[in-house]
Amino acid sequence: MAAFQLVGWFARPAKDAAPSERDQVGPSAVSAPYVSRRTPAVPTVEVAVNDTTEGMVIRVKGEARAEFAGALQDGLLGPTARRPALVTLDLSELRFISSLAMGVLVTFRRSVVRTGGRVRLAEELQPAVKEALMRAELFDLFATDAATASSR
C-alpha cells in the first residue's frame, strides 16, 4: 500500500501546470515493452560443396558454434541427398567446433554410410578443432586422407 501512495505522490502534476494536466493522475504515457535492439545472428559457418574425380569435397569455414549448428546441418543436407560414394570433409578453415556441430558431422557421416558411402577428414586441421575432435574421440569414426591413401 505504501508503494501505491508513493506512485500517487510522484505522479502528481506540477502546481503551475494547466488545469487539464492537473486532472490527470498517474503517468500520461504507457511505456512500450522492452524490445531487443540486437542484430539477428548471422551464421559464421560456411559450407561449400565441390565434386571432384575422386568424390565430393565439402569445405567448412568459420566457426561452427552451437547457435549455428542448424546452418551447418542445412549445408550438409543437400550433399547427403545425392548419395555420394566418397566425401572428404575439409575442415582446414574451421577455427572452432562446438559439441553440437560435432554431432551434426556424426549424423552426416551416419547418413552417408547408410547409403554405402564413406566419409574421410582432410589431414590439415586448426589446433582447436583437432583438439576438440580428439577429446570427443571422433578420429576413429572418420578416416583421414593418410589412412585412405595407405589402404589403396
CATH assignment at residue 134: 3.30.750.24
Tell me the pLDDT tens digit for each residue of 112-134: 999 999 999 998 999 999 999 99
Domain enclosing residue 109, as ranges: 45-150
Task: Give dist(CA 74, CA 61) in Å, integer.
Answer: 14
Query: What is the C-alpha to C-alpha distance for residues 69 and 43, in angstroms, rounded to an integer?
Result: 9
Do residues 108 and 119 lie in contact, with contact meaning Cβ atoms separated by under 8 Å? yes
* Lowest mean pLDDT segment, chosen from 13-22, 36-45, 93-102, 121-130: 13-22
Residue 109 placed within a domain = yes
DSSP letter, residue 123:
S
129, part of any domain: yes
When divided into structural domains, the chain yields a total of: 1
Q: Which residue has the higher pLDDT, 121 or 147?
A: 121
Q: Using pLDDT thresholds of 50, 70 and 90, give the confidence band for residue 75.
A: very high
Residue of 66, 61, 65, 56 whose CA lies nearest to 46: 61
Give the pLDDT score at 152.
41
Residue 151's pLDDT is 42
Find the angle CA(45)-CA(49)-CA(54) to the nearest 5 degrees.
Answer: 135
